[in-house]
Chain A
């Protein structure tokens, strides 16, 4: 019985909240039969349940209300007074329920007063509102009571049943009620007769959440310990535990999410009552009620929101007369909206009222001693004053606002959960408050960084990308003290964390090594840190109130190793980077590199920069490198005097990239792995420095074996290594092809005006088993062909002086002797335009210049097709 009662209470309270709101809507749309139907059925259900579990007082009241609703359904006019009366009845029901909840018994007392009015209303067809008001408890209730309930109940019940039976048979009605149930459940699932949902007390969920938070911390601690012991047998089970923890955390978080509409549920009623009390016509619009946020957050903002809506109704909106005089629509609007934006919930409360009265605020602020007579604060500063403690401009203390609970309380509540509140106001046009609050308070993924010797956490939702400075000292540039970063084709404003937090500058060379690119709202900026450690799920703990003024700090957290670190607040940082955030906004900034401009792609090449032996910077086009590896130096073996390492089930020879390069004695040995035809060679380097995008122009050719020449990469002289030199060093039979088979080799004509590409690609093609003739121009190639050289396929560059690739291909096609030759074009730009040009020139295919594998595949395909054709 206990459980039954509790269930009844929860369900009935929810139903009554719905009735509240539906009634307010109904009053505005009296012809909406659907709303009325819903209200009617809810009240009917309440009545039925009360009867079932023996609560006569509630049942009688609900019955009387239902009767009035029945009249509405039959077309009785819907007056404000009638709706008010039903609302009063619902309030009474609620107060009885409250007592029932407290004492587990229906309180004694009589509702004769209300029942009489309701019956009177029902008899008069809902029209005699004044009469209803005139009926007072003292005079009329005994009379009416005597003649009313017993006989009245029966007859009205029958009447109503008759009404309901008219449209259709009983079973159809049952079906309809089933539908309604679903309607009710959509808002708050968990009715008794379904086993798919379950009501769980909030305490239980809270306790679960606390435990999960602790579990996450402990998991982090364990991960930290295992990270230090690389050969731990706990690694695998811990990984499993970690995954399960993450899932558990997500699951529990989900149970805590509730639609923000829950916090708005009471607002329509409040606004309606306020409107009546203040003599204003107010329309409340609600958008985004389904936006979900953490229950804890919801609880904290519920009261502030209610307060702000009250404020808008009371102070914000003008009286009907004032609105009419100002030429505005008589009905004032309060618009509530909620939406999610970059990991935050934004709630806006806007009214189309008079806007903030700046002179009144100023006067009041002087009275309250917040500012002095001489002060002339800006508009924005004046706006901010309304959040100051003890500030209220309400001229008279109404029951609505001006009770000393001011906007300061609102601000405190929002601050408490790490939110912000902002205000825009235009005189005569209205005010908009926007509140930004975090989605959840509990656990957020964060990036742990280091600056000035201390660690800080940055919530990952704000992090767009990380940029490593590497050896490129020019990454960060300065314009009169303002730090900027050239990121792709734009300048990114930077902020040094060390400077911003006034931390001691670290003397080490690795200070300011990383730029964390962050996005807050529309503004994009970078913060410079010394090091990026790892990511961690952190449990956000608010800072003490004495530290809450520090805008750039958003809380603190305890890390896996037990240390407390501060969490940086991206919003606060965004504000501190420029006095006006808007000025710093970079419109249309390319965040992801998918939109690299065409001409840029034309010129630049991805180069892997490394050091080896002599210490000079060396580079190799990244596309030629299969993989970067770091191997344990102890695993390097020697076979016939040459260093080898077991790699992916085979032996991989290691070749020094420079004759002075030394193998690491212990620790790890970085390698560049080149793979071809299932064979790999590891190039021994001292240090992999960076990957850069730059133009590749060899300025000085080189005689040193293994070096093509020198180029200037990012303003530094860099040796471009010749992969062709190193590949054969690994396997003496490299040139004979991977399988060393004696089959006749396909003859390949390779035309490129660039010596670099000839040197780079020829060995690759040779290694793939082709007999390659590399020529520097189409003219040479045509001459060779005319002199009887025979080939199976042609690979040609497109951009060449004199005769370009297209012309070359057309010349070949024009000659009957060569028209069968498949021509494959090498291009630095892959675009539809190039593709169609290649096609019209009769080429077999085209591949990107550095796409080694693509070229080999195209050659293979061409060979297969030739064979099939033959």
Chain B
């Protein structure tokens, strides 16, 4: 956020309800199509369920729910971004994948103070791209939703 020594970071980008989001590529394990999700009874509403990804059990997290957005209306491919968090595999369900972008820290801004609270909690900055803004997601904070849910 400071203007000193611009650094470049690669982001995996994804669309959720018309908004572009980015996750540092170093945190992304893989990108896959989420099929055959098994619902987990009594689970927090953000968790859509679990699925088998090449013999590994992956917990699928509904990003729309996490961001307080209405459920998806179209029934296209359900893409997911695979994340490893403390040795556990999570899949963040998104509407669609974008490109991998290499972005300079000069285009990075702090999250604006008027950003909604639940978004601000998981946003670690905003990139000013030429044609749109990209919200950088903080993976650890996304997965720390239990605290929010418990507090609510």
Contact = CB atoms under 8 A, between A and B. Distances in A.
Interface stretch (B5-13, B18-26, B37-45, B73-81): B37-45
Contacts of B89: 544
A502 interface: yes
Contact of A553 (B40, B44, B88, B90): B40
29 contacts: A217-B55, A454-B38, A501-B41, A501-B42, A541-B57, A543-B57, A544-B89, A545-B88, A546-B59, A546-B145, A546-B146, A547-B40, A547-B43, A547-B47, A547-B59, A550-B40, A550-B43, A552-B42, A556-B50, A557-B57, A558-B52, A558-B57, A562-B36, A562-B52, A563-B38, A564-B38, A564-B50, A564-B51, A566-B38
B143 interface: yes
B55 to A, nearest CB: 7
B22 to A, nearest CB: 23
B143 A546 contact: yes
Contact of A545 (B39, B40, B51, B86): B86
Given A501-B42, A546-B145, A566-B50, 4 more contacts: A544-B90, A546-B44, A550-B41, A553-B42
A556 B57 contact: yes
A566 B52 contact: no
B141 to A, nearest CB: 13
A696 interface: no
The majority secondary structure among interface residues of chain A is mixed
Interface of B: 36, 38-44, 47, 50-52, 55, 57, 59, 86, 88-90, 143, 145-146
A503 B57 CA distance: 22
- Please indicate which of the listed interface residues B44, B47, B52, B88 has the most CB atoms of chain A within 10 Å of its own CB: B52
A330 interface: no
Contacts of A563: 36, 38, 52
Contacts, number: 64
- Please indicate which of the listed interface residues A501, A553, A557, A564 has the most CB atoms of chain B within 10 Å of its own CB: A564
A503 B43 CA distance: 12
A847 B68 CA distance: 75
Contacts of B90: 544
Interface of A: 214, 217, 454, 501-503, 541, 543-547, 549-550, 552-553, 556-558, 562-566
A552 B143 CA distance: 22
A502 B42 contact: yes
A566 B86 CA distance: 21
A544 B143 CA distance: 11
Contacts of B55: 214, 217, 558
B43 A564 contact: no
A461 B47 CA distance: 30
Contacts of B86: 545
A546 B150 CA distance: 12
Contact of B41 (A217, A545, A566): A566
A489 B86 CA distance: 51
A81 B41 CA distance: 61
Nearest to B39: A454
A547 to B, nearest CB: 6
Nearest to B55: A558
Nearest to B86: A545
B63 to A, nearest CB: 14
A642 B146 CA distance: 71
B60 to A, nearest CB: 10
Nearest to A497: B41
A214 B39 CA distance: 24
Contacts of A501: 41-42
B8 to A, nearest CB: 32
B61 to A, nearest CB: 8
- Please indicate which of the listed interface residues B47, B57, B88, B89 has the most CB atoms of chain A within 10 Å of its own CB: B57
Contacts of A503: 41
Given A543-B59, A544-B90, A556-B50, A565 B38 contact: yes
A556 B38 CA distance: 10
A542 to B, nearest CB: 8
Contacts of A543: 40, 50, 57, 59
Contacts of B41: 454, 501-503, 550, 553, 566
B52 to A, nearest CB: 5
Contacts of A544: 50, 59, 88-90
Contact of B42 (A550, A562, A565): A550
B52 A564 contact: yes
A549 to B, nearest CB: 8
Contacts of A541: 57
Contacts of B40: 543, 547, 550, 553, 566
B83 to A, nearest CB: 11
Nearest to A501: B41
Contacts of A565: 38
Contacts of A552: 42
Contacts of B59: 543-544, 546-547
Contacts of A553: 40-42
Nearest to A562: B52
A553 B41 CA distance: 9
Q: What 7 A-B pairs are tightest by C-beta distance, nearest first?
A: A501-B41, A544-B59, A544-B88, A564-B50, A564-B38, A550-B42, A564-B52
Contacts of B47: 546-547
Contact of B57 (A546, A549, A550, A564): A564
